[in-house]
Structure 1
Amino acid sequence: MPVDESLEPLLALLNSPGVPKMSDGTPELARLNFRRFTVDARQPEALVPVASVEDMTVDGADGVSLPGRVYRPDGAGTGNPVPTVVFFHGGGFVIGDIDTHDDQCRWICREVGAVVLSVGYRLAPESPWPGPVEDALAAVRWAAAHVAELGGDAARLAVAGDSAGGNLAAVVAQDCRDASGPALAAQLLIYPATDFADVYPSMSENAEGYFLTAADMVWFSANYLPSDADPADPRLSPLRGRLDGLPPAVVVTAGYDPLRDAGEAYASALEAAGVPVTAHRFDGLIHGFFGLPAMSPASEKAVRTTCASLRDLLV
């Protein structure tokens, strides 16, 4: 199946000679360019409407306060509890923030009917692994302790994330099980990075031309991983961890994504360990499609399908 035609203009722009390659620059420049591509290019009227949006601070690791943003759907806080989803943004652990992934959280809030707490964990290289993992775990514990004031339901607490954020969500799900809580009802892993210890065919098949490149992944890893990190550590590569007893999962991959095969390997491993899994591969889409519904009907359809699967787990 070819790349969906709605994505061809975007890919033509990203692959044009005048667009700087992320892996050729500094983290600061990459963050600036990513915000230009996402936040600055966004039409405010195109944002998905939700009942309310509130900025706040969330407890991270080591007593650090992290930026957070809570999205509430219609009906939240009216005596009719709704699910709570803690969301971790993508960006290779180096770029991205709660602004770049604003619309992704709005989609989940509206389509799932959940309170969504987006967490701005600290980024590498300033905070390399396991810093973002520790921030993510602290944020989920904070959310569980404050779920009532967020307007959600403690019995239906889920984690979610895309790409690097999907990695964090998967690692947090394992940590919560091993550390006896907080109990999680579900996990949504959107084209997650699940294994730093192996090379998969999709990494070469989709190495160039589809937004996320092989060079980008090497650059992200170089910034995120300390020199003494073990790529097979489960808190870095959740595919290498013990998978039984984890909450039900929705695992989403894209056909033209270097991370496709590792994500699907994680879905298969979860299922083999007895974890209920809903797996979706969207063949004509690329890494990052969850942020592209405004320009791509196929991406919008995939986002709706994904959210419906999470909603089914949180009924």
Structure 2
Amino acid sequence: MIAWQRAGGPPVPDRDLTVEQARERYLASSVRPHREDGPPRASVASADHVIDTEDGSSIRCRVYTPETDEGRVITFLHGGGWVMGDVDSHDRACRMLASSLGSVVVSADYRRPPEFPYPTPLRDAVAATRWTAASFPGREHVVAGDSAGGALSLGVAMDARDTGGPELAALLLVYPPVDPSLRIAAACDHAEGYLLSVEDMAWNYEMYVPDPERRSDPAVDLLNADLRGLPPTVLATAEFDPLRDEGIQLTEKLAASGVPARHVPGPGLVHGYFLMQDMVPAAAACSRLVVDELHAVLKSVSAPRAT
């Protein structure tokens, strides 16, 4: 934990800050200069596009194109407690995914609460996934996200299953919140004092789903949702994270529902490590392992490839 504490991580909500100030603080903490002594980086081009949503609005997305194209595409949904992250805070993570997997990555800038509470972020995520499928046909399509983006990714996969598409080759869920009751998180050994706390998660859910009755919706109470028929899933957790145990339980429920599921634990790591790869060697190593597991899943599934 010492290296992590020295490096710092994406900040959790501060009750003395406005939402806008929290967003600015999160972005400033997430976007850091590249270390000169870090590993060499493959070239990844990027360009911003506009996606039309079902309510007549539009959202931004950023498309990353690697030098080596393996015929894959990822719809990426950023974390940040639904409230704070954006495509800029997760730019480096998307570039890593693009270069490591030889995949085009479409990072969706879904509308955020409290201005746009549930279900708008999920509907935007669905719209982005459909846009990706239409824009990059014939590719292995993965939906991926960290933290709140992982929860949205699972909701997107459920929607795709229930509405007839798009076809997904795999899911990547990095420490997703899936139990809005927070009972599992509160009982975790690391509920407080490790970057993210149960109190922080309660604030996030209040912003995302202000109506308590809607927190029982399957797309929010994901641990109790019907998970049958979902694509093969890689689920990563962090050891010092109040969301760890619900992530483990989700992996077990996916497997019990007939979904091929691989769990990647994060020994010694805290929530948010996917954004700390340039500063914490253990975070970089675990992130590579997560990508390797996803690569193995994609090799094991049969999906149309780009020609």
Same fold (TM over 0.5): yes
* Paired residue secondary structure (1:211): coil
- Are 2:66 and 1:73 aligned? yes
Structure 2 counterpart of 1:162: 146
- Which of 5, 8, 11 aligns to 2:5? It is 8
For these two proteins, the number of residue pairs brought into alignment is 297
Structure 2 counterpart of 1:32: 24
Structure 1 counterpart of 2:190: 206
**Which piece of structure 1 moves more, 136-145 or 195-204?**
195-204
- Are 2:111 and 1:118 aligned? no
**Are the aligned partners of 1:203 and 1:259 in contact in 2 as well (CA < 8 Å)?**
no
Structure 2 counterpart of 1:254: 238
- Which of 71, 80, 90 aligns to 1:91? It is 80
Structure 1 counterpart of 2:131: 142
Unpaired runs of at least 5, structure 1: none
Q: What's the RMSD between the two structures over aligned residues?
A: 2.1
The whole-number CA distance in structure 2 between the counterparts of 1:20 and 1:222 is 14
The whole-number CA distance in structure 1 between the counterparts of 2:89 and 2:226 is 32
The whole-number CA distance in structure 2 between the counterparts of 1:23 and 1:262 is 25
- Are 2:157 and 1:173 aligned? yes
Give 1:203 shift: 5.6
**Aligned pairs for 1:95-106 within 5 A:** 95-106=84-95
Structure 1 counterpart of 2:172: 188
Give 1:60 shift: 2.9
* Paired residue secondary structure (2:151): helix
Structure 1 counterpart of 2:46: 53
TM-score of the two chains, using structure 2 as the length reference? 0.90
The whole-number CA distance in structure 2 between the counterparts of 1:171 and 1:234 is 8
**Which piece of structure 1 moves more, 234-243 or 49-58?**
49-58
Structure 1 counterpart of 2:303: none
Q: For residues 212 and 222 of structure 1, do their structure 2 counterparts lie closer, same or farther at Cα, with a shift above 3 Å needed?
A: same
**Are the aligned partners of 1:60 and 1:136 in contact in 2 as well (CA < 8 Å)?**
no
* Paired residue secondary structure (1:301): helix
Give 1:282 shift: 1.1
The amino acid that maps onto 1:133 is: L
Give 1:8 shift: 2.9
Greater than 6 Å deviation, 4+ residue runs: 44-47
**Are the aligned partners of 1:34 and 1:96 in contact in 2 as well (CA < 8 Å)?**
yes
- Which of 231, 239, 243 aligns to 2:223? It is 239
The whole-number CA distance in structure 1 between the counterparts of 2:183 and 2:212 is 20
Deviations 1:254-279, CA, capped at 9 Å, x for gaps: 00011111111111100001100110
Percentage of pairs with the same residue? 39
Give 1:66 shift: 1.0
Deviations 1:108-154, CA, capped at 9 Å, x for gaps: 11111211110000000000011101100111111111115xxxx43
Unpaired runs of at least 5, structure 2: 300-307
Give 1:23 shift: 3.3
The whole-number CA distance in structure 2 between the counterparts of 1:85 and 1:27 is 29
Structure 2 counterpart of 1:64: 57
The amino acid that maps onto 2:33 is: R
The whole-number CA distance in structure 1 between the counterparts of 2:258 and 2:232 is 9
Q: For residues 20 and 54 of structure 1, do their structure 2 counterparts lie closer, same or farther at Cα, with a shift above 3 Å needed?
A: closer
